[in-house]
Amino acid sequence: MTDYIQEFFPTHSCFVIADDTVAGLYGNRLQQAFTDLQSFRGILEFPAGEASKNRQHKDALEDQLLVEKAGRDSLIIAMGGGVTGDMAGYIAATLHRGLPLIHLPTSLLAQVDSSVGGKVGINHPSGKNLIGAFYQPQAVFADMDFLKTLSDEEFFNGMGEVIKYAVILDDELWQILEDESAAIIDRDPVLLQEVVTRCAALKIQVVEADEKESSYRSILNYGHTVGHAIEQLGQYKLKHGFAIAAGMRIAAKLSESVLGYPASRVERLNKLLDTYHLNQVDYRDYNFEAIWECLKTDKKSRQQKPKFSLMNKDNQPELLYPIEKAELHDVFFGE
């Protein structure tokens, strides 16, 4: 990465943004790697966790950057997981009306999903990712070695997004996840590289077709409509992938109920989520009325009417599909 920076941003001052957990794990190694990078200005830290993805911490980081005289000739490196990428990316998009951005994703979730595609932003008390922008990075550097230090919980958190890609876009990946589950859970580096590469390629294809999510890109929200509501109601203490797994169970059941999605695929999805320990969140533990209220303020809603990304009987996506309260109620409380 330093060679890339020296070639393309030789005169830019370089600031790394990382949460305190990632900075503690990799800060010294990064300092050593950047020894020959005279433009390196240090690591700016914030508290780890989804709850930190808010205006308060964004403002604090911007204040630090301005104190350090960060200007349009500065480069932002987002080193960490999805929270860091979202918030550091939003800072890069808005400070001085736009600074170049590089993603250095350290989590599986960030490598397969959030670092690719240009969505950046922060949360609001009314909902997740309600404040933000589309802002593409100059480059993304995904190193499989980072995945070795992930906790099991964080690893399975990322597998929630991996499974999403398999279900909506890649039957071959779905089969790999089933056939090679033991080796993937054991973090076989060859398999992980294939998984990360396939997911990133799938997302790039979708984003190239619909960068600003006017239509087709919304397929990537499969499982996220109810999943985001669960995150919000849990005060962002739940990891994203586990909430999205619960959301995918609902999305699959809705797909079967209203669009004829095959019951066999619903069963396969539920088994796969169990295999990767993504059965720790039960959507029925949350109040249905509270979830419905969250859905009405979701950024995909129109006239406070929830829209879902679903799959139809031909295993093709149905995008921004309107769901009535009674339809969700029947699925929510059904077997």
Identified catalytic residue from 53, 129, 221, 239: 221
Catalytic residue among 41, 217, 249, 307: 217
Please identify which of the residues 203, 239, 249, 253 carries the catalytic annotation: 203
Of 7, 29, 69, 97, the active-site residue reads 97
Rounded-to-integer distance, Cα 45 and Cα 24, Å: 10
Strands 74-80 and 119-124, sheet pairing: unpaired
Select which of 164, 228, 253, 307 is catalytic. 228
- Beta bridge mates, 76: 15, 101
Q: Looking at 45, 50, 154, 213, which residue is catalytic?
A: 213
The yes-or-no answer on residue 157 being catalytic is: no
240-259 and 263-275 are packed helices; what angle lies between their axes, rounded to 10 degrees? 170
- How much of the chain is in helix, strand and coil states, percent to nearest 5? 55, 15, 25
Of 12, 53, 239, 240, catalytic: 240
Task: Answer yes or no: 119 catalytic.
Answer: yes
Active-site residue, 268 included: no
- The amino acid present at 53, given as its one-letter code, is K
Is residue 277 part of the annotated active site? The answer reads: no
Distances (CA, A) of 291 to 199, 230, 246: 29, 7, 13
Token pair recorded at residue 118: 């240009």
Catalytic: 41?
no
Give yes or no: 96 in active site.
no
Cα Rg, the chain, nearest whole Å: 20
Known active-site residue 212 = no
Does the annotation count 318 as an active-site position?
no
DSSP classification of residue 115 = T
- The catalytic position among 119, 198, 253, 300 is 119
Question: Please, are residues 281 and 245 in contact by the beta-carbon 8 Å criterion?
Answer: yes
302 labelled catalytic: no
Q: Which of 161, 164, 239, 249 is catalytic?
A: 161
Is 221 annotated in the active site? yes
Residues designated as active site: 97, 119, 161, 203, 213, 217, 221, 224, 228, 240
